[in-house]
Amino acid sequence: MIDELLKYQEADGKLRAIEQEIAATDERKKYMAARKFLEKAPEKLEALDAKASELKHIFELLEKKYAEIADTIKDYENLDEMVDEQGGEISFYKKNASQIADNLRALKGDINKLVAQIEAASSEYAAAKKQTIAMQKQYKEYKVKYSEVKEKHAAEIAAIEAELAKLAKGVPETTLAKYKAKRKEKVFPVVCEVTGNRCPGCGMELSIAELSKLTDGNFIECDSCRRILFKKK
């Protein structure tokens, strides 16, 4: 049975070589980069939009507070009249006016900082939107080019897949499922010959019991990397 599995892996190796060749093309790299960007773009733009809205709301609150303090300051323009009408020490009112003025300056500083944050968020949003438009264009362009690259290998891939389907009939279904699972994880080769007492794939030391199974002409799975291991008689 191991011979059939090795034949399957040999044919699969040809398919893997084509897959690697296609994966290394500029067309695929640019197509995949654009696709990944566009998958995350809506979420990023929504987050930036929400941030801008939040900053705008905070700005409006600070602006309202600033206006309220500014109105209070106006009441102190007629300080002499307030003292005459309400009595009290003028120093008390001057102290209050000074404190309010300090609060006003601090609030104005907070508003200026917030304005800078809003401008930065706005610039970031504009840049992200511009990049999204560029990536949409790249996606459309390289989707076509990537399809053309795959089409060039379509006949060869179809022939290998037909050969694999034929060879698969000679391999137990459970064993083939294990093989395909590792292949999907981009592990290759999946089937390896043991030459010592370690897995040639990951270096895991095999137990005496496992080595004993191999000497009987069977195959085992590596406990570490799950590769299919065998040993020639």
Sheet holding 191-193, edge to edge: 191-193, 228-230, 220-221
Express each pLDDT in 189-219 by its tens digit.
999 999 888 999 999 999 999 988 887 778 8
d(CA 41, CA 48): 11
Express each pLDDT in 82-101 by its tens digit.
555 554 556 665 667 677 77
Express each pLDDT in 141-190 by its tens digit.
999 999 999 999 999 999 999 999 999 999 999 999 999 999 999 999 99
Instruction: Output the pLDDT for position 179.
Output: 95
CA torsion, ordered 221, 224, 227, 232, to nearest 10 deg: -60
pTM: 0.68
Q: Which long-range contacts (CB under 8 A, 24 or more apart) does 111-115 make?
A: 111/59, 111/62, 111/63, 111/66, 114/55, 114/58, 114/59, 114/62, 115/59
Share of the chain above pLDDT 90, in %: 52
Express each pLDDT in 117-135 by its tens digit.
888 888 888 899 999 999 9
Instruction: Output the pLDDT for position 17.
Output: 97
User: Which residues are bridge partners to 193 per DSSP?
Assistant: 230
DSSP codes joined into one string, 191-218: EEE-SSSB-TTT-PBPPHHHHHHHHTT-
d(CA 104, CA 38): 45
Q: Tell me what the pLDDT averaged over the chain comes to.
A: 87
The single-letter DSSP state of residue 188 is: -
Q: Which domains does the chain have, with CATH numbers?
A: 25-155 (1.10.287)
- Evaluate whether 52 touches 118 at the Cβ level (below 8 Å): yes
In the block, tokens 């270096």 appear at 203
- Evaluate whether 221 touches 181 at the Cβ level (below 8 Å): no
Q: Burial of 39 by CB count in 10 Å (0-12 exposed, 13-18 middle, 19+ buried)? A: exposed
Instruction: Output the pLDDT for position 174.
Output: 92
